[in-house]
Structure 1
Amino acid sequence: MKARIAAVLAERKRNPITRILRYQYEGKTVYYQSAPCCDQFSQVFDTKGRLICNPDGGITGKGDGKCPDFEKNKTNEKLVWQDPR
């Protein structure tokens, strides 16, 4: 997580700002990192930092199709970090 945050802070400020949220999904803790802009993918990672899926974004706005039920089935949202700039 620290490496992800450092990478965001090393870039110019994004609009909208980057947010990392924690959820429960399919019985596991996962982290959602918002997309930097427009047609780019947001990302969902497991607790070890491995990419699980891109639930939204892209040209269709529906992500990569690997977790089409993420929006409907995620629970226990908690803001972990957002760009303070």
Structure 2
Amino acid sequence: MSYQYNGSLVFYETVGCCDQYTTLYAADGKVLCHPDGGLTGRGDGQCADFAKARTEERLVWQDPR
């Protein structure tokens, strides 16, 4: 998925299963943070407001399996 977050285009990558972090990337591919997932489900705490602050959700790619 892509979003606007803090005035910038970002890409959010989910994971398939079980206690793994999701990843939020800047438009240039730099890892910004891990908004959720992990053992607590709260990510790494570096972008705790992502779920509330994101806008302009767009599907970029979906695995057809």
TM-score (ref. length: structure 2): 0.96
Counterpart residue number, 1:46: 26
Q: Which runs of 5+ in 1 are unaligned?
A: 1-20
Aligned mates of 1:46, 1:56 — CA distance in 2: 16
The ranges of structure 1 where at least 4 consecutive aligned residues each deviate by more than 4 angstroms after the TM superposition are none
Q: Tell me the number of residue pairs that the alignment of Structure 1 and Structure 2 aligns.
A: 65
Give the structure-1-normalised TM-score: 0.74
Deviates more, 1:35-44 or 1:21-30: 35-44
Q: Is residue 69 from structure 1 mapped to residue 30 from structure 2 by the alignment?
A: no
Structure 1 residue 26, shift from structure 2 partner: 0.2
Q: Which has the larger radius of gyration?
A: 1
**RMSD over equivalenced CA pairs, Å:** 0.6
- Corresponding residue for 1:22? 2
**Of Structure 1 and Structure 2, which has the larger fraction of its residues in helix?**
1
Q: Distance in 2 between matches of 1:53 and 1:69?
A: 11
Give ranges in structure 2 of 5+ residues lacking alignment. Answer: none
